[in-house]
Structure 1
Amino acid sequence: MIITDRWAGGTAASALILFFAAPVAAQTQADVAAAERRAEATVRAMTAAEKTVMTHGIMALPLTANSPPIPADAVPGAGYIPGIPRLGVPALRETDASLGVAYAGGLRKDNATALPSGLAMASSWNPALVEQGGRMIGAEARSKGYNVMLAGGVNLMRDPRNGRNFEYLGEDPLLAGTLVGHAIRGIQSNKIIATIKHLALNGQETGRHFADVRISEDNARESDLLAFELGLEIGAPGSVMCAYNRVNGEQACSSDWLLNRVLKQDWGFKGFVMSDWGAVPNIEAALKGLDQQSGEQLDTAVFFGDKLAQAASGSATWSRRLDDMNKRILTSIYASELDSNPAMPGGVIDYAANAKIAEEVARQGIVLLQNRGNALPLGKTARNILVIGGLATTGVLSGAGSSQVIGDGGPAASIPVGGTGPFAGFMNIVYHRSSPFAAIQAKAPDATVRFRNGRSLSEAAAAAKAADVVIVFANQWSGEGFDQADLSLPDGQDSLISAVADANRNTIVVLQTGGPVLMPWLEKTAAVVEAWFPGIRGGEAIASVLFGETNPSGRLPITFPSSEAHLPRPKLDGFAWLEPDFIGRKPVGAGPLPVDYDIEGSDLGYRWNARQGHKALFPFGFGLSYTTFETSDLKMDGMTASFTLRNTGNRDGTSVAQLYLTDTPVGQRQRLVAFERVGLSAGETRRISMMIEPRTVGEFESGNWVISKGKYSFALGANAEDLGKPVTLRLNRKVWR
């Protein structure tokens, strides 16, 4: 990324962004340059046969009778790429994923620490905390012998029904890109490689292998690709994982535009591109920018082995490309010191300390959505507490698929949902061993705390009448390989909440969801708490918020729409045509599934609502506290905003300052341009200064970022729909690449 016109005084945009060029990343540009020189020397020393050793690898799990044997030096997990011992090149041992070291079907016979879901992390709006979580899961991966972690998911929420939204970091490119960069930075601080994924526009699970996303370059660059660009700059991952879907007719893992022009040419990425598992269409993907075929047994053929060697032996073009593939893989290996600081199984892990990190992420990520009459926090006057539903006596819900992490002692519950085939086990509904009911009992030792499972509405309502307060746990399970049918709570839970709230108006709803839900019962309830999938210590974190030990500070990283009719695509493309399937098979004879993202373009979530005049059920950036905050005196000095923030309540608390662009010379547009999480004591006042990310103000036009000359308006917001008085700033024209 080359800046052709620097900002006076400097900005968040740097003069030169290269692979591993994050401001405080473990590797410097000089380190990477040295690693690249070493890589070139190693490539020169390779034999022809050795040049296709690292360009392909297996899924290191015995999923079927035909699965290849797991090599002796592999650790059971997502993938294995052989090394070249003669040249001192280590094998790549790969594990999923962004929320912790994945369970791998229990083949490791151990446990790992499960972070809360990506949406919970994003709700903290806290880059430092997200980086700490990345550092923790990266350390666990290294201690288990892995040197590659397939973490760093940053696909933006284009559809709230996407089954993998829970893994990702929301709908806004600035927030998501910043957070994923810090997560990657934390993981790679352990001298292992992280990825950023899935490049790009992988916005639904329905038909994910053949959905064909149609979008203009300008719209892509200002939204999904901007999140990737920021994540690469901040986190400097050693690898990029390409996606299953097509983009403008080309498979993402065989897209010359995505992989060669945008990623490697425009962004200057020096690392390697690995495929998603089973996402390689043919050998030509190598010329289109793919460097490594992953999980090869899931593809129709091994394209990057003998076929690639044969192509390279007869063509100078293919030979140069093969050398470049190896150089990129080796550059990442050397820059991360995988050869000189090898990860070995058997490392010591402090699970108790790591659980505290996961709990802190959960506490900061819980969002208080409603609190009528200060129903929360619960006080000592509540003597008769009724907890209903959600398997709250058992544990807390987690998301399914390749990101599934299992803690000590195994799952508290693992409920099959049916299905056949090697991936059926990935579809179990899993609960972590952290009971919210037990945690509530611990916080209220003098109260009578009872439980009803909620299977009978009449029983639950009858019990609710006799309680001082009712806490209903409502769950929406999500997972890889399928999308939500709609935004209602499944299994009749909306009716349950309504019946209970009719019986007792002091009803508090705790949501454990993988994304937004509609709330037809909202006006009947006293309080609503969004806990997401809260991780290995989620029950304790939820109770801490309910009883006021933790003052809630989470803010929504996504929009909760008020109606599915307000979405750019009210009906999910292909949903009625396809059956849920982890592999995503299409009906025989069916062609690509067209998905039109130019409907909303770069206006995702709150941006779409602003453009269309829709009001959200709960807007992006929304979240309540047990105290109150006031902002004032916004001033703009170039690309720096300053303002006064005051805690006007009687409790210490944390606010998230949000600055939005609201108007430009080329028309109204709403964009988050800066944010900062700020903790204040009761009554404390502080002057805050924030730098604006220039790409959130500019537009991408004809291969350049452009800020047009003229007046721009900015406003501080409690959320995307509650904005203060705008301040106008005049900017000169700026153009950069």
Structure 2
Amino acid sequence: MSIEDDLDRPADAHAGAVVSDPDARASAVEQQLTDEERLALVVSVMGSNPVSPGRDPRIPEDVPMSAGYVPGVPRLGLPALLMSDASLGVTNPGYRPGDTATALPAGLVLGASFDADLAHAWGVALGREARARGFNVQLAGGINLAREPRNGRNFEYLSEDPLHTALLAARTVEGIQEQGVISTVKHFSLNCNETNRHWLDARIEPAAHRESDLLAFELAVERARPGSVMTGYNKINGEYAGGNRHLVTDVLKDAWGYPGWVMSDWGATLDWEFALAGLDQESGAQMDTMLWGRRPFLDDLPDALADGRLPRERLSDMVRRILRSVYAVGADTWSGPVPLDAAQEAEHADVALRAAREGVVLLRNEGVLPFVAGEALRIGVIGGHAQLGVATGTGSSAVTPHGGFAGVVKVGGPGVMGVGRNLYLLPSSPVAELRQALPDATVEYDPGMSPAEAALLARRVDVAVVVAVRLEGEGFDLADLALPWGQDDVIRAVAAANPRTIVVLETGNPVVMPWLEDVGAVVQAWYPGQAGGRAIAEVLTGRVNPSGRLPLTFPRSLEDTPRPELPGLGTPWGTPVEISYDEGAEVGHRWYALHDKTPLFPFGFGLGYTTFEHSDLAVTGGATVTARVVVTNSGDRPGADVPQLYLRSVDGRTRVRLLAFDRVELEPGASATVHLEADPRSLARYDTSGSCWRIDGGTYRVALAHDSGDAGLSAEVELEPRTFGR
């Protein structure tokens, strides 16, 4: 199915909703609840873990530990809500001894695939694995835009672009909810930095917010109908996300007509009055006690209800929204775990491998890749703990893989997330996979502890593969974009010793590359998941033709970003921080185009072992932009292309937007006709005075390109002036 086919699907054509009228059913059941039952439904408590030791008395002994527990109402057939993190697999941070799950790659790997069908399969795997453990709420659907290349949590998300993010996130949510498991989208909104995130005030102009981060949420909510939306830790324009009436009530619930429930992030409910602003559920109440000294919904809502400060109708609405999602998704139609069979386990492993293969981005290749089949190469693999496995990100998204981690390097740090700040290695060793893929080759390993030692190996081999890793994770932003632990110096020394040097990057963000012109190839593998070592080996040996495209712009330096200095970086944990996102709606590739800056690598960029040509572009205007283009594989290998349609200017003024994209797999010499259609909101501006989207009309220049920096095939169309939406 193409992206365009998906765009044509009606908004309610999502999985799970196999009920005639979830609103009526929710209303009828809510009327039968006692106040005690209502108040219990609007609070979740955490299972036992390093942050919250001991079993909360609200959690029955026969219930598995999870990120969140909300008691059910057995007399009315309402199941308890058991919630688990997150978007990269079912996590287990000390909750359930011995439980492991499929460790999917980083969200950016899915983003780099530009593959909506893969996103759906990813969601199916998440939903099945949650259900197999009895979890009926998967806290997956991270869609914050990558505004800041130092954000330690970018690896969990999908991209810097709202359209790209929303389309892939929506398909993931649909896949989860088809399994009768409620999905979330998070973190609403502008949770784009981790430095002192609980005290961060994100400042942005309201119209620009609607055209960027909120547009990603709007499209995802509209298309996939996630059962819940999770608010972030931060403030937005001075008000905490969970208590921000404008965003939660005026925009999400009223303007967008969102029918589900709004939960806080864990430890992000500071006051019971957040309920008056639109928050429906306090999450992880123990975290609120740890951070703020109270559990506002658990401790204060009963009194507020009793004395009339919390209107009874507001409490009923909070509960109805939760019930509505349970019934719409079908989370009440099953009880207890639904074990996976061997075929499903194998399918999930295949999803992890497929994602790793499609998400690898080849950034540079000066004729050194792929390795020649059957050649008796001497290969030196250097650094990155590549003899053990591949790196993964840290925090609440970290998944314990089948068989356990290949290694854990304890690091630590301040704040509540410091205990989990470790370098985790998934057991998929690039060294072992290369040896298996190239039985005629000699593969040696050097740990890369010093440039001089690494150079000794590099001098005596035919080709050197330096695997560079960077520890990134929840709760911490990066200080810069360099590789840590002296790895840049190692790469320089190896490249000086051997011109056939390949750098494989296992990172969750862009890196600067002072050695770029000295190496033969650069492979961006991100955090590639449980099958990452195999995918890397397959790309290096040519068994897989790399087809990933960058979901992030790679800057040349921090000076070429909207914020060369990150406010608050280096301040003690608990320090209030204000970040003005002055770039507004011009996030990522939009900002580079507007300021006429050339990045190191543009959004959408990626090389392969074949070439693709675009021809016969036909574009029409009117109410929106539609395009047709012929894509031809002009090389000698099968491969996948990602044709991308961009807005370039309006009436001669620079205005860049990704309008549509598709992924096309073609045999050598084969062609396919691709049809693309822009969502009108990508062409419009948001008018805060009229509370609507506005297309001014005029001449719109668009381009069908290989990436955001490619001139591509351009055309001009006329659009009609109009207003629409809210």
Task: With the length of structure 1 as denominator, give the TM-score of the two structures.
Answer: 0.93
CA contact (8 A) 2:42 2:280 kept: yes
Equivalent residue for 1:412? 406
Letter in 2 for 1:722: D
- Residue pair 2:16, 2:328 contacting (<8 A) in 1 also: no
Change (3 A) 1:421 1:625: closer
1:300-449 correspondence runs (5 A): 300-315=293-308, 318-344=311-337, 347-348=340-341, 350-419=344-413, 423-449=417-443
Aligned partner (choices 669, 672, 678) of residue 658 of structure 2: 672
Match of 1:612 in 2: 595
Rounded Cα–Cα distance in structure 2 between residues aligned with 1:421 and 1:613? 39
**How far, CA to CA, are the matches of 2:546 and 2:375 in structure 1?**
21
Residue identity matched to 1:416: K
Identity in percent? 45
Check whether the contact 1:397–1:475 (CA below 8 A) recurs between aligned residues: yes
Secondary structure of the residue that 2:296 maps to in structure 1? coil
Asked whether the equivalents of residues 86 and 138 of structure 2 are also in contact (C-alpha less than 8 Å), the reply is yes
Which shows bigger deviation, 635-644 or 360-369?
Answer: 635-644
User: Would the aligned equivalents of 1:95 and 1:148 in 2 still touch at CA under 8 Å?
Assistant: yes
Q: Please identify, of 244-253 and 691-700, the stretch whose mean Cα deviation from structure 2 is larger.
A: 691-700
Q: How many residues align?
A: 710
Equivalent residues in 2 for 1:249-648 (5 A)? 249-299=238-288, 300-315=293-308, 318-344=311-337, 347-348=340-341, 350-419=344-413, 423-578=417-572, 585-587=573-575, 592-597=576-581, 599-638=582-621, 639-648=625-634
Per-residue displacement from partner, 1:684-733 (whole Å, max 9, x unpaired)?
Answer: 12221111111111111121111112110000111111122420000111
Report the CA distance shift for 1:66/1:144 in structure 2 as closer, same or farther (over 3 A): closer
Equivalent in the alignment of 1:582: none
Given that 2:369 and 2:542 are in contact with CA atoms closer than 8 Å, whether structure 1 keeps it comes out as no
Change (3 A) 1:44 1:666: farther
Residue of structure 2 in register with 1:46 after alignment: 33
SS in 2 for 1:160: coil
Q: State the Cα distance separating 1:307 from its structure 2 match.
A: 2.2
**Cα pair distance change 1:199/1:294, threshold 3 Å:** same
The answer to whether the 8 A contact 1:144-1:345 is kept is yes
The answer (yes or no) to whether the contact 2:198–2:268 under 8 Å persists in 1 is yes
Asked if the contact 1:144–1:344 (Cα under 8 Å) also holds between the matched residues in 2, the reply is yes
CA 1:147–1:385: 2 relative to 1, 3 Å: same
C-alpha separation in 2, matches of 1:66 and 1:449:
48
Gaps of 5+ in 2: none
* Matching of residue 234 in structure 1 with residue 223 in structure 2: yes
Change (3 A) 1:405 1:253: same
The SS at the match of 1:669 is strand
Cα deviation for residue 217 of structure 1 reads: 1.4
Determine if contact 1:147/1:343 at 8 Å carries over to the other structure.
no
Q: In 1, distance between residues paired with 2:408 and 2:216?
A: 34
Aligned pair in 2 of structure 1 residues 676, 233: CA closer, same or farther (>3 Å)? same
1:56 counterpart residue number: 43
Name the residue aligned to 2:721: 733
Partners of 1:93 and 1:145 within 8 A in 2: yes
Stretches of structure 1 that go unaligned for 5 or more consecutive residues are 1-8, 579-584
The superposition leaves residues 608-634 of structure 1 with CA deviations (integer Å, 9 ceiling, x where unpaired) of 111111111111000001000111221
Question: Equivalent residue of 1:719, what SS?
Answer: coil
Contact 1:164 1:480 in 2 (8 A): yes
Is 1:187 equivalent to 2:176 in the alignment? yes
- Give 2:699's aligned residue: 711
Comparing 662-671 and 462-471, the one that deviates more: 662-671
Task: Deviation per CA, 1:521-579: give whole Å up to 9, x if none.
Answer: 0000001100000001111111111111111100000000011001111111100323x
Kindly state the Cα deviation for residue 315 of structure 1 after the two structures are TM-superposed.
2.4
Task: Tell me if the contact between 1:511 and 1:530 (Cα under 8 Å) persists in the aligned partners.
Answer: yes
What is the distance in 2 between the residues matched to 1:331 and 1:364? 37
**Which amino acid letter does the alignment assign opposite residue 604 of structure 1?**
V
CA distance in 1, matches of 2:136, 2:540: 39
Partner AA of 2:389 in structure 1: G
Read off the aligned partner of 1:640 and give its amino acid letter: T
Q: What amino acid is the match of 1:712?
A: Y
Aligned to 1:45, the other structure's residue is in SS state coil
**Alignment of 1:25 onto 2:15:** yes
User: In structure 2, what residue type is equivalent to 1:321?
Assistant: R
Instruction: Summarize deviations over 1:57-97 as a string: whole Å, max 9, x none.
Output: 21112435576344324321211111122222111000000
AA partner of residue 451 (structure 1):
Y
Structure 1 314/418 Cα, relative in aligned 2: closer, same or farther at 3 Å?
closer
Which of 108, 120, 123 is the equivalent residue of 1:119? 108
Q: Deviations over 1:14-72 (max 9, x none)?
A: 9xx8xxx44343327xx4x6111111111111122221010112111243557634432
Secondary structure of the structure 1 residue equivalent to 2:566 = coil
Deviation at 1:666, TM superposition (A): 7.8
Higher mean C-alpha deviation, range 380-389 or range 289-298? 380-389
The alpha carbon displacement at 1:316 in A equals 8.1
**Equivalents in 1 of 2:423, 2:12: separation in Å?**
38
Of the three residues 206, 210, 215, the one matched with 1:217 is 206
Displacement, 1:607? 0.7
Please give the alpha-carbon distance, in whole angstroms, between the structure 2 residues aligned to 1:481 and 1:111. 24
Shift of 1:492: 0.4
Once residues 564 and 111 of structure 2 are traced to their aligned partners in structure 1, the CA distance between those partners, rounded to angstroms, is 25
Is the alpha carbon distance of 1:13 and 1:263 closer, same or farther for their aligned partners in structure 2, counting shifts above 3 Å? farther
**Partner AA of 2:614 in structure 1:** T
Structure 1 residue 665: Cα displacement: 3.2
Distance 1:693 1:186 in 2: 22
Q: Distance in 1 between matches of 2:101 and 2:469?
A: 23
> Cα–Cα, structure 1 residues 331 and 24, in superposed 2: closer, same or farther, change >3 Å?
closer
Q: Residues of 2 paired with 1:528 and 1:563: CA distance?
A: 18
1:23 partner letter: A
Aligned partner of residue 362 in structure 1, secondary structure: helix
Q: Secondary structure at the match of 2:186?
A: strand
Q: Work out whether 1:134 is the aligned partner of 2:127.
A: no
Distance between the aligned counterparts of 2:399 and 2:589, measured in 1? 31
- CA distance 1:162–1:424, change in 2 (3 Å): closer
Name the residue aligned to 2:144: 155
Q: Distance in 2 between matches of 1:687 and 1:348?
A: 39
Counterpart of 1:695 in structure 2 is 681
Residue 68 (structure 1) aligned to one of 50, 53, 56: 56
Q: Which residue of 2 aligns with 1:3?
A: none
Q: Normalising to structure 2: TM-score of the pair?
A: 0.95
Q: Is the 8 A contact 2:641 2:665 kept in 1?
A: yes
- Structure 1 distance, partners of 2:414, 2:479, is 21
2:85 equivalent to 1:77: no
How far the C-alpha of 1:142 sits from its partner, in A, is 0.3
| Distance of 1:406 and 1:196 partners within structure 2 | 23
| Structure 1 residue 352: Cα displacement | 3.2
SS at match of 2:141: coil
- Of the structure 1 ranges 630-639 and 714-723, higher mean CA displacement relative to structure 2 is found in 630-639
**CA-atom RMSD, angstroms?**
1.9
2:646 corresponds to which of 647, 650, 660: 660
Structure 1 position 650 matched with structure 2 position 644: no
Distance in 2 between residues matched to 1:319 and 1:104, nearest whole Å: 37
Question: Which one-letter code corresponds to 1:594 in the other structure?
Answer: E
